[in-house]
């Protein structure tokens, strides 16, 4: 991605970003719940050009048995990118990055999911990234949360997720692939909107303390926008058009 940033304007003088968004605008997000028949719960998200499918199984028996916990259920997450999800073929074996993202998504979902209700069982979350365009971990987390709700797994709250970052010395919401490559910082935020708690916070880049605070705030606000879309996805599936 070397000398590309020299030719690309990330933020013009009117505050418009390289893909025509304002600084506090997310990409177009659509979520659909219950798209798979054989999984216990599922969701499909389009987050800008990201396309991600999530399937849930469980609660079910743990195999291998030694992994099970007599006190609580366990959550297992697999985040996987399809070979065709990026411009150059990605080898299908789990990479270091995918293992990390599986772990952070698992830890971001754990505070919300009430696993203690199902001792000795496992809930499996399978995330398949069909097309990636920056910010897949947030999109995957948001979709996983919808799929868990669709599977009927008790949750204290939904988990919404959105990234914020620093591009051309400005804090912006929802960085896309170009901004991620050429920008100065990227901060994915996972947030439980009703409990007002952050479950995922990572930062790649350098921010001053003031910028950091602003970046978290912007990210949380983005999560609230994503939450409305998650809510709509579930309402559409379960309550049809008949509102209340």
Partner 1 sequence: MENKRKYVIPGDLVTTGPFRPEQNVILEGKKIISTSIGISEIYDDSVRVIPLTGKYIPKIDDLVIGKVLSHTSLSWELDINSCYVGFLPAQDVFGRDFSAHADELSSKLKTGDLVAARIANFDRTRDPLITISDRDLGKIDSGSLVKISPSKVPRLIGKRGSMIQMIEQATNAAVTIGQNGWVVISCESPEGLLKAKKAIQMVNEKAHVANLTDQVKEMLESKGES
**Interface contacts to partner 1, rule CB under 8 A:** 40-41, 58-61, 70, 112, 114, 117-121, 149-158, 192-195, 231, 234-235, 238-240, 242-244
Pick between residue 153 and residue 207 the one whose CB is nearest to partner 1.
Answer: 153
Pick between residue 124 and residue 178 the one whose CB is nearest to partner 1.
Answer: 124
Pick between residue 61 and residue 169 the one whose CB is nearest to partner 1.
Answer: 61
Of how many residues is the chain composed? 244
Q: Are strands 41-47 and 74-81 parallel, antiparallel or unpaired?
A: unpaired
As a whole number of Å, the CA-based R_g of the chain is 18
> C-beta of 54: minimal distance to partner 1 in Å?
15
> C-beta of 45: minimal distance to partner 1 in Å?
16
Pick between residue 56 and residue 81 the one whose CB is nearest to partner 1.
Answer: 56
Alpha helices in the chain (DSSP H): 96-109, 136-150, 177-182, 209-239
Pick between residue 193 and residue 219 the one whose CB is nearest to partner 1.
Answer: 193
DSSP state of 115: G
> C-beta of 152: minimal distance to partner 1 in Å?
2
> C-beta of 104: minimal distance to partner 1 in Å?
21
Could you give the CA distance from residue 99 to residue 85 in angstroms, rounded to a whole number? 17
Pick between residue 105 and residue 148 the one whose CB is nearest to partner 1.
Answer: 148
Pick between residue 159 and residue 218 the one whose CB is nearest to partner 1.
Answer: 159
Q: Could you please report the per-residue DSSP string of 135-189? A: -HHHHHHHHHHHHHHHTT--BSS--EEEEEEEETTEEEES--HHHHHHSSEEEEE
CA neighbor of 73 nearest in space, from 109, 31, 43: 109
8 A C-beta contact, residue 115 and residue 76 = no
Could you give the CA distance from residue 85 to residue 52 in angstroms, rounded to a whole number? 10
> C-beta of 154: minimal distance to partner 1 in Å?
4
> C-beta of 67: minimal distance to partner 1 in Å?
15
> C-beta of 150: minimal distance to partner 1 in Å?
6
Q: What angle do CA 117, 226, 43 make, to 5 degrees?
A: 55
CA neighbor of 161 nearest in space, from 110, 207, 200, 197: 200
């Amino acid at each position: 991605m070397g000398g590309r940033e020299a030719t690309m304007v990330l933020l013009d003088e009117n505050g418009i970003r390289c893909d025509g968004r304002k600084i506090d605008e997310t990409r177009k997000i659509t979520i659909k719940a219950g798209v798979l028949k054989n999984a216990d719960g599922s969701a499909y998200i389009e987050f800008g050009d990201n396309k991600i499918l999530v399937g849930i199984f469980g609660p079910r028996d743990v195999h291998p048995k030694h992994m099970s916990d007599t006190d609580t259920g366990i959550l297992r997450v697999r985040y996987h990118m399809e070979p065709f999800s990026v411009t150059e073929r990605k080898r299908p074996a789990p990479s270091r990055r995918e293992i990390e993202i599986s772990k952070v998504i698992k830890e971001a979902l754990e505070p919300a999911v009430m696993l203690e209700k199902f001792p000795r069982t496992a809930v499996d979350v399978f995330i398949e990234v069909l097309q990636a365009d920056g910010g897949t971990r947030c999109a995957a987390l948001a979709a996983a949360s919808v799929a868990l709700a669709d599977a009927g797994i008790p949750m204290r709250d939904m988990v919404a997720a959105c990234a914020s970052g620093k591009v051309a010395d400005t804090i912006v919401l929802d960085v896309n692939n170009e901004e991620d490559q050429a920008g100065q910082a990227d901060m994915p935020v996972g947030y439980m909107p009703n409990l007002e708690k952050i479950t995922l916070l990572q930062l790649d880049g350098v921010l001053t303390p003031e910028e950091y605070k602003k970046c978290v705030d912007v990210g949380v606000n983005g999560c609230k926008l994503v939450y409305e879309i998650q809510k709509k996805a579930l309402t559409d599936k379960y309550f049809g058009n008949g509102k209340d």
